[in-house]
Structure 1
Amino acid sequence: MTPTFFLAIALPALAAATSLLAAPAAAQAGDLKGVVELFTSQGCSSCPPADAELARLAEEDDVLALGYHVDYWNYRGWSDTLSSAASTERQYGYARTLRRKNVYTPQAVINGEDHVNGADGAAIGKVMDKLSSIGEGLTVEVTAIMHADELRISVGPGEGKADIVAVYFDDANTVKIKRGENAGRTITYRHSVRDMETVGMWNGNRVELKLPSSVISAHPGRRCAILLQVVSPDGSPGRILGAARI
């Protein structure tokens, strides 16, 4: 399914997750093979196989799997309960970065560098392997750990400039779809992104950040990941240099 209109890029509202306070775990970029971002919709008949593939990837220790529910299919009889304009804007930002004239669902963007049909698990794996082999995988070390009432983020040295972005997502949402192309189906969606927040900047030097609990408590019950992502002057998302899952 491929609409051909374009939207302006906008970052979602600043937010954080209370659940982090009880999760003193850390993950390094070196532990992750890649970041897979699926653009999907409950109103897209082609999307359930891709949603299932994202659910499989969500169980992989070396992959950060994130789902973005777009809102441009909401007019077709069913409004996606997890959709947002911000998810649509992010996908169109990738279209500009990847020099595409349109977007589609289900689209999987890997490391901000390439894309494939989100239902094709083999193709997703091949792209992750290819990017790693040419030095465009997750090459900058990122760690994130809860310490007392602080979220401590560390980004190692490297080359270039990038934003440090906190991504807040639900672990799972089960939705009974009553109308539209998937009417009558009940689907469990994994790792649906609900908010994103730019918490710092990186210029190639090591960066140490601390986020107070007053920021983290804004999103109770949600999980969090940290992305180190290149962003263009117009706000379009680009290559993901590193990531950590908390």
Structure 2
Amino acid sequence: MFAKPLLALAATFCAGTTTAAECTAHSGPRQTPLVELYTSEGCSSCPPADRWLGTIAQSADTVALAYHVDYWDDIGWKDRFAEPRNSQRQRDKVALAGGRTVYTPQVMINGRDSRAWRGHNPLANVPRDAATAQIQLTAVAAPSGATVSVRATAPGDRQTQLVVARYENGHQSEVKAGENQGETLKHHFVVRDWETRPMPANAPLQTDIRLQAPEHTGGVVAFIEDLRSGEVLQALALPDCQR
């Protein structure tokens, strides 16, 4: 069982017309862990990890994302959610953590490899330290896509960046070839779009980010990471606004 929330996921509110809705979230005084899964529909070992990720509640206690990688696409089945930049992000994160090899399924918690998800709760012993970074999100959602306004702060003595991602739930694929041929795969927290912004050294970051139009319900995740160590300093999830 996951620990009780230590952050207050922001009050959300809706405003406007039937074509757009606005809602807001802000991080709290403690660090929220970020779980990143690197996965592929072409990998026979990945469905158990996908199912495990689906047991996580996107909340003030934990934020989750699933990046589909493309380096299994040439063995019989092309993953429609895979992007080369997702694979490159995994390589970069592995290198920052001192590793040399990428693999799937790989779970990272706050930028560090974690293999305890099989039969265990890898989040049980993750510290919720006092937050050194803060994030506030305001999302204006419309059928054409969401515009996300972000205000974020981070320690001035660290080189950091903001990452804002659009995730979706409820996707399902009937795999016709490859290692998972004949399987129906269900996906959670699928990253569909993401953008980065460098954090200023001694001032808050204020920026607007436009994300692609949604196919399924989901939300927006923002997090701040250290570019030298890969450590994630703070994470925040904002589910889709209810119109």
**TM tier, smaller:** 0.7 to 0.9
User: Is 1:228 the counterpart of 2:221 in the alignment?
Assistant: no
- The question of whether the paired residues in 1 share the 8 Å contact of 2:33 and 2:126 is answered with no
Higher-RCO chain (CA-CA 8 Å, sequence separation at least 6): 1
User: Is 1:186 the counterpart of 2:184 in the alignment?
Assistant: yes
Consecutive unaligned residues in structure 2, runs of 5 or more: 1-18, 239-243
1:21, CA displacement in angstroms? 5.2
Q: Distance in 1 between matches of 2:103 and 2:206?
A: 36
Residues 74-128 of structure 1 show CA distances to partners (whole Å, capped at 9, x for unaligned) of 122111121111111011111111111211111101111x2123742625214xx
User: Is 1:142 the counterpart of 2:135 in the alignment?
Assistant: yes
Residue 164 of structure 1 corresponds to 162
Q: Distance in 2 between matches of 1:89 and 1:157?
A: 24
Letter in 2 for 1:144: L
CA change 1:138–1:50 in 2 (3 A) is farther
User: Is 1:173 the counterpart of 2:165 in the alignment?
Assistant: no
- The question of whether the paired residues in 1 share the 8 Å contact of 2:32 and 2:236 is answered with no
Q: Distance in 2 between matches of 1:22 and 1:202?
A: 30
Consecutive unaligned residues in structure 1, runs of 5 or more: 1-19
What is the aligned-residue identity percentage?
28
Q: 202, 216, 238: which one pairs with 2:230?
A: 238
CA change 1:225–1:60 in 2 (3 A) is closer
TM-score of the pair, normalised by structure 2: 0.76
CA change 1:40–1:153 in 2 (3 A) is same
Residue 50 of structure 1 corresponds to 49
User: Is 1:152 the counterpart of 2:149 in the alignment?
Assistant: yes
- Flag the structure with higher helix content: 1
User: Is 1:22 the counterpart of 2:21 in the alignment?
Assistant: yes
Residues 185-226 of structure 1 show CA distances to partners (whole Å, capped at 9, x for unaligned) of 1111111112221234142x4515141xxx52x511263211
Please give the root-mean-square deviation of Cα atoms over the aligned residues, in Å: 2.8
Letter in 2 for 1:67: A
Q: How many residues align?
A: 212
Q: 160, 184, 201: which one pairs with 2:199?
A: 201
Once the two structures are overlaid, the 10-residue window that deviates more, 192-201 or 144-153, is: 144-153
Q: Distance in 2 between matches of 1:95 and 1:150?
A: 31
- The question of whether the paired residues in 1 share the 8 Å contact of 2:154 and 2:199 is answered with no
CA change 1:171–1:138 in 2 (3 A) is farther
1:72, CA displacement in angstroms? 1.2
Q: Distance in 1 between matches of 2:29 and 2:173?
A: 34
Q: Which runs of 4+ in 1 moved over 6 A?
A: 147-150
Residues 143-172 of structure 1 show CA distances to partners (whole Å, capped at 9, x for unaligned) of 212479974323245352311221122233
